Structure 1
Amino acid sequence: MPYLKSKHLTTNSKRRNERSDKANRKLIYIGREIRFQSEQDLEDYIEASFDTIFPELVLIKRQHSLKMQRCDLLCCSKLDKQAVIIELKNEEDRGLVSQLLRYRKNIFQNQSFADRIDYSLPIKLIAIAPTFHEDNYTDKEASKFEDDIYFWKFYIEYQTTPLKFQLEDNNYDILYPVFGLPGSVQNEDLQSIILPAFTHNFESKLPVDVRQNFRIIRELFMAQPKIKEMVSPTYRKILYGTGEGQNHKKLAEITNTGKGIWLFLWLPTKVRTKIKIPVARFGFVLAANNSYFDQDSVVEWLVCTKTTVNLEENSNNNFCFSFDRHGMSKWTSANMYLCQASSNDGRNLNTLDLLIYLLKGATRPFDISLLESWWSQEINTPTNLGWYIDLAIKTWNYRIK
């Protein structure tokens, strides 16, 4: 049992998580646009605002399940009881049409809520998403139910007060806070946030003087799309990623051991193979009296490791000559991280290309002025912890695209 799961929640913990979910709904700034933190948050907002957004409809059931299929919103029109199926997506999805058609078939065959729905009328299918892939339109044109399928785009306008949820040509207020906006500091209300049960127990084992800063760095991680927060049974380890397994993508890990607190980030790393997105788990050794929850902390060493950081390695003269199978130094001086990670022997340039894209926003072919700028940065990597956290977040968002 590496990490706790919902089945390990007590009744009181479940109640706390329900309060946390309701109190901590938020929007995130990603890719220069605003998104809901999760598809569930989108569903929660639509359900809470349903009568305002769809005054002509009646919401019959949310998450209606039939034959292992589950539609987001099953509705009917107030005027003539026509069935309406609404599918909500927080990001682009290529399989929307087939998904809607499966729901339509199951609901029509089962005649769900026949006392409230007139099945002599065609079933209206509505997909709501920020963007629609070209394949959605192709599939719609190929369907015999084309006239009953509708694509509605939504957009969140965040430069207004309150924020506006724009659906087609209509605007609706949305009061969720936004995390991740450039230049914004979201720490004034962090103390009042209701943490999930497992996270609350993890925080309770931290020194009191670092708990507020833990919440700040936690919000940075939790503001990323598709992120999950997982806590160990001892409440001494917390992981941020898509899951705990070897094949899951991971962003960060914090451990609180008898030897102190450690932060690990998944960052670009040197490779000799054609891995599209080469990353590895790095631990950080900070300057004396610096904190892992302070982004201004000074990083002295990066340690490429799948386990913990063994400081005793730093006390002998052999650690500098320890390399992984790709040639990445296990211990790297912080200001030489970029130089070490992007160095190559002519066989592969994946990491160099990845780092230049993440930090410079450029792809090949590179012009000479960009390369000169890169070379000057490469030999003098920033050493503040916040720079590495930002790079880890940029890497995360690139990996999950």
Structure 2
Amino acid sequence: MNLIKTGNSWKFATEADLEDFVWANLKELFGLIPLKRQYYVKGQICDILALRENKQLVVLELKNVEDRYIVQQLTRYYDALQEVKPLEDEIDYQQPISLIAIKPNFHRDNFTDKKYHNLSIDFFEFAVLADEFNYYLQIKNLDLDNEKVLKIEIAHQDRERREDIPSPSRGLMSHLAKCSSEQQEGILKFRQKILSFDKRMEEISSAVSFKYGNGNSKTSKFCTEFYFDSKGIPIIFLWLGLKNNSSDRISRARIWTDWQGNALLEGYVPSGIGTKINLSKKTLSTRIKIMN
């Protein structure tokens, strides 16, 4: 994890770092089974979806700073999930959806909103603590009296990262609405990682292309691009070193993926989107089999 020091206290460098840690430790922190991250449903993006052992759905919303509207945000997620009921093979919607808010501190308005709310919402307050050798996440359920405070170690590194990650633009969200849930989740996760990597990283948008680099000029250096073709299908490009990194030059390469964790470098495409894969002869699974 990436931690930064503010005054005499420590915090996660970005909200993405906080989410990474909670996702990796869902079982230890809450006794939950990970299901989905950055899950897109009916115009809403849920930070984390998880399950209890009885398949009850739990929605977790995380904030790395104080936020006065987290109750309203969780309410919108609840409404979208109840209406669409995605992932029905894995979730028991006969049980009520549980909502969890996780923040370093809660505004008094949060408690007022929760007091007059009919949904089940638990407030968890966390802090990053440090001793001479290690860092820890300390977390407590504010809704339980005399609840034991849980503390687990954070493996960390120090890095100057970008904290003010902008929300996805209306243009990007419009394209994502036409994508599958796997594509939506993957693109939003990639975007969060890219923009949080370094404070110089920028998002340069056009009608069908979303590039990530250090600016939009002749001297710009890009690392990633999401391109949406005429059918709305997302295409991924990465700027990679030529000749297996034995060359000093880098170029724009097209990446094919099944959005299930498998990816294939098709080749370098300086402009445009490159050739189409002949699905009858060159499926992604066949190519991965050949590579293996």
Deviation of 1:177 after TM superposition, in Å, equals 2.6
Question: How many angstroms does 1:26 deviate by?
Answer: 1.5
Find the aligned partners of 2:71 and 2:14 in 1 and give their Cα distance.
21
Q: CA deviation at 1:178?
A: 4.3
Q: What residue is the counterpart of 1:119 in the other structure?
A: 93
For residues 150 and 107 of structure 2, the distance between their equivalents in structure 1, rounded to whole angstroms, comes to 22
Root-mean-square deviation (Å)? 2.4
Distance 1:166 1:121, change over 3 A: same
CA shift in 2, pair 1:135/1:161, >3 Å: same
Partner of 2:199: 228
2:17 paired with 1:29: no
Does residue 73 of structure 1 match 2:48? yes
- Aligned counterparts, 1:2-401, within 5 A: 25-54=1-30, 56-78=31-53, 80-145=54-119, 148-168=120-140, 169-178=149-158, 228-230=199-201, 231-232=214-215, 233=217, 235=219
CA contact (8 A) 1:76 1:83 kept: yes
Match of residue 207 from structure 1:
none
Q: Please give the alpha-carbon distance, in whole angstroms, between the structure 2 residues aligned to 1:100 and 1:179.
A: 31
Q: For 2:77, what is the secondary structure of its paired residue? A: helix
User: Matched residue of 2:200: which SS?
Assistant: strand
Distance 1:158-1:235 versus aligned 2 partners, 3 A rule? farther
Against the structure 1 CA distance between its residues 93 and 130, is the aligned structure 2 distance closer, same or farther, given a 3 Å change threshold? same
Displacement after TM superposition at 1:47 (Å): 1.7
Q: Cα offset for 1:51?
A: 3.0
How much has 1:50 moved relative to structure 2?
2.6
* Aligned residue number for residue 250 of structure 1: none
Structure 1 gaps of 5+ residues are 1-24, 181-224, 238-401
Structure 2 Cα separation of the partners of residues 68 and 179 of structure 1: 33
Q: Secondary structure at the match of 2:100?
A: strand
The answer as to whether partners of 1:155 and 1:166 remain within 8 angstroms in 2 is yes
**CA deviation vs aligned residue, 1:200-251 (integer Å, no higher than 9, x gap):** xxxxxxxxxxxxxxxxxxxxxxxxx9x83143445599xxxxxxxxxxxxxx
Distance in 1 between the 2:115 and 2:45 partners?
24
Distance (whole Å) between structure 2 residues aligned to residue 67 and residue 109 of structure 1: 9
Letter of the structure 1 residue corresponding to residue 138 of structure 2:
Q
Deviation readout 1:298-340 (Å, 9 max, x if unpaired): xxxxxxxxxxxxxxxxxxxxxxxxxxxxxxxxxxxxxxxxxxx
What amino acid maps onto 2:109 in structure 1? D
Say which SS state the counterpart of residue 228 (structure 1) adopts: coil
Q: Give the drift of 1:83.
A: 1.1
> What TM-score do the two structures reach when normalised by structure 1?
0.39
* Aligned-partner Cα distance in 1 for 2:111–2:74: 13
- Percent of residue pairs identical: 37
Please give the alpha-carbon distance, in whole angstroms, between the structure 1 residues aligned to 2:132 and 2:155. 11
SS in 2 for 1:229: coil
The one-letter amino acid of 2:14's match is S
Give distance in 2, aligned partners of 1:156 and 1:128: 13
Where do 4+ consecutive residues of structure 1 move more than 4 Å?
234-237
1:29–1:179 Cα contact (<8 Å) kept: no
CA shift in 2, pair 1:84/1:160, >3 Å? farther
How many angstroms apart in 1 are the aligned matches of 2:77 and 2:29?
A: 22
More helix by share: 1
* Whole-Å separation in 1 of the counterparts to 2:78 and 2:51: 13
CA separation in 2, counterparts of 1:71 and 1:100?
Answer: 8
Deviations 1:328-360 (A, max 9, x none): xxxxxxxxxxxxxxxxxxxxxxxxxxxxxxxxx
Shift of the alpha carbon at 1:43?
0.8
53 and 234 in structure 1: CA distance in 2 versus 1, 3 angstrom threshold: same
Which whole-Å CA distance do the structure 2 matches of 1:68 and 1:156 have between them? 32
Flag the 1:236–1:67 CA change in 2: closer, same or farther, 3 A: closer
Residue by residue over 1:14-50, the C-alpha shift from the partner in whole angstroms, topping out at 9 and shown as x without a partner, is xxxxxxxxxxx51111142211111011111112223
Structure 2 counterpart of 1:97, which letter?
V
Distance 1:229 1:32 in 2: 26
1:393 aligns to what?
none
Structure-1 separation of matches of 2:7 and 2:110: 22
Say which SS state the counterpart of residue 33 (structure 2) adopts.
Answer: strand
Q: Which runs of 5+ in 2 are unaligned?
A: 141-148, 161-195, 202-213, 222-292
Rg: which structure is higher?
Answer: 1
